[in-house]
Amino acid sequence: MKRFLSRQALADLRALQDKAGRNAQNAFLIEGFKLVQEALQAQFPLQAIYFAGELPESIKVVLEQTSRVQPIPVLPISLTEISQITKMPHPEGILAVGTMSPCLAAQQEYAFPAIYLWEINDPGNLGTIIRTAAWYGIRQIWLSPGSVDPFNLKVVRGAMGALFQVKIRREFSAAQLLDLVEHQHIRLGVAEKEGGVADMELPEPWVLAFGSESHGVPAAIRETAQWIMSIPRYGYGESLNLGIAVGIILDRMRRKRDR
Amino acid sequence: MKRFLSRQALADLRALQDKAGRNAQNAFLIEGFKLVQEALQAQFPLQAIYFAGELPESIKVVLEQTSRVQPIPVLPISLTEISQITKMPHPEGILAVGTMSPCLAAQQEYAFPAIYLWEINDPGNLGTIIRTAAWYGIRQIWLSPGSVDPFNLKVVRGAMGALFQVKIRREFSAAQLLDLVEHQHIRLGVAEKEGGVADMELPEPWVLAFGSESHGVPAAIRETAQWIMSIPRYGYGESLNLGIAVGIILDRMRRKRDR
């Protein structure tokens, strides 16, 4: 097997599988043609692009345009090396390393509308939610302590480039949220199983909190909320998937504004 | 390791991992407490329940009620055996075998509203869509040839009991759909990236067709449809996840009816 990466380079890239390694390097993995292309088009800061074989024309074109502003090294890699890094069985043959910090909201940098996710632990769900939130023009996504890391490869893949468009805030506690709501006059809505029908005007700036499918948000958040909203059920079932619920509530809120 | 199942019984259960085995046995696997409980509560026909350890009170109560109508054998199993059958690393310790045919719509048994999914291949997506469809009172889900099997363990898990509420039709071709629309005066809607805003009345009976996120439905279906509908974008992104799109469109259609 041909090796392109030094032992150290491979170890550094493999360290990006884990949250600790990503935090230490301020970097995360971006895998696949479509995602790398979206990162380039969004002029998202990439530290390097690793490619197995010949770089396709579509990527070259975007890369050339981007590189006038910010030159990005393109380095050779093998498919086996990509698999070792991503643990994916069938790599497409392209891998980029993105800088993490531009995705993160600075401590006092708030933008609205925002959504707050309480202890979200399914990476596929979080990826889909980030993608959906970007579609509905949500500007920041705040994650409670105990949530899955948003730079997890599965989240990045599920977000389909939306990570390059919205800002993320990690380890944002209920106390911080409530302090913000109280002192900055931010409106807080909570989506719950038992609430009023989600069909109301929410004057901006607002943040919408979503809990887990089974346990909801902590009581302190629910009690502070100006709106508790639910999705009416027209058939059978105990609840909706969290990602679906986020999509439907955001659609209901955005649509309200249209009329 | 203690073995409870005969070699043949284990082989029969393991065969249910695959579509061919499920079809041959007219049976599928239902794993986990919540799902088995939902099957019992829905009086869904179960061939057997396998349990590791002592059956919990909550299941016993439902089982006794159900068994008056239909006695269900409860058999011992080990956690290791469950893992061998489901390929899941951390089994909850309960596994049931459901009869497949009650989930399937008979050839001439149509009920509306219905949704038609074209070449859906992600089992998690299909499970979530079945769950969402049941929530919105969809009565049948029709799957095109080339779709993932709805009795795949991941689909069953994602559907969260909704499989016991809606009926599925497999291998339903575009030609069959179009024949039905033409001869039975069924109204056909298609959800597409480029269409009118999904905000219209659909008089029943209707069926809504969803294609893949990237390729949509075949041209013949699109050309026959009375409605082509889209979800407006309020921010960034190329498309929504298919499950999210199904949820939002169904919500928009159901909500329209409420007013």
In this prediction the ipTM stands at: 0.92
The band of B200, judged by pLDDT with boundaries at 50, 70 and 90, is low
Q: What does the alpha-carbon distance between residue B169 and residue B142 come to, in Å, rounded to a whole number? A: 5
By mean pLDDT, which of A17-26, A98-107, B187-196, B231-240 is the weakest? Answer: B187-196
Neighbours of A199 (CB within 10 A): 14
Helix (H, G, I), strand (E, B) or coil at B29: strand
Chain B residue numbers touching A243 (CB-CB < 8 A): 128, 241, 243-244
A49 interfacial to chain B (CB closer than 8 Å): no
Residue B230: burial class (beta carbons within 10 Å; 0-12, 13-18, 19+): middle
- Judged by CB atoms closer than 8 Å, whether chains meet at B135 and A234 is answered as yes
B130 interfacial to chain A (CB closer than 8 Å): no
At A33-45, the pLDDT tens digits run 999 999 999 999 9
Of B132, B236, B241, the CB nearest to A240: B132
Residue with tokens 């079932």, as numbered in its chain:
A237
Task: Identify the pLDDT of residue A78.
Answer: 95
Helix axes B242-258, B123-135, angle to 10 degrees: 10
Is the separation of the CB atoms in B150 and B163 below 8 Å? yes
Higher-confidence position of A258 and B160 = B160
Residue type, B141: I
B254 interfacial to chain A (CB closer than 8 Å): yes
B238 interfacial to chain A (CB closer than 8 Å): yes
Tokens (6 digits) for B19: 């579509």
Q: What does the alpha-carbon distance between residue A188 and residue A116 come to, in Å, rounded to a whole number? A: 10
**Mutation test of the interface with chain A: which of B35, B41, B135, choosing the one with the most A Cβ atoms within 10 A?**
B135
- Judged by CB atoms closer than 8 Å, whether chains meet at A241 and B132 is answered as yes
Q: Distance between terminal CA atoms of chain B?
A: 61
Closest C-alpha to B85, from B159, B3, B168, B160: B3
pTM: 0.93
Task: Identify the pLDDT of residue A201.
Answer: 67
Closest C-alpha to B168, from B231, B115, B206: B115
Is the separation of the CB atoms in A92 and A33 below 8 Å? yes
Task: Identify the DSSP state of A216.
Answer: B
A112 interfacial to chain B (CB closer than 8 Å): no
Q: How far B52 CA sits from the closest chain A CA (Å)?
A: 25
Of B131, B235, B243, the CB nearest to A136: B235
Mean pLDDT, rounded, for B72-100: 93
Task: Identify the DSSP state of B216.
Answer: B
The helix or strand, by DSSP H or E, that contains position B125, with its residue range, turns out to be helix B123-135
Closest C-alpha to A175, from A250, A118, A133, A230: A118
**Residue B224 clears pLDDT 70, i.e. is over it:** yes
**Residue A196 clears pLDDT 80, i.e. is over it:** no
Percent of chain B with pLDDT over 70: 97
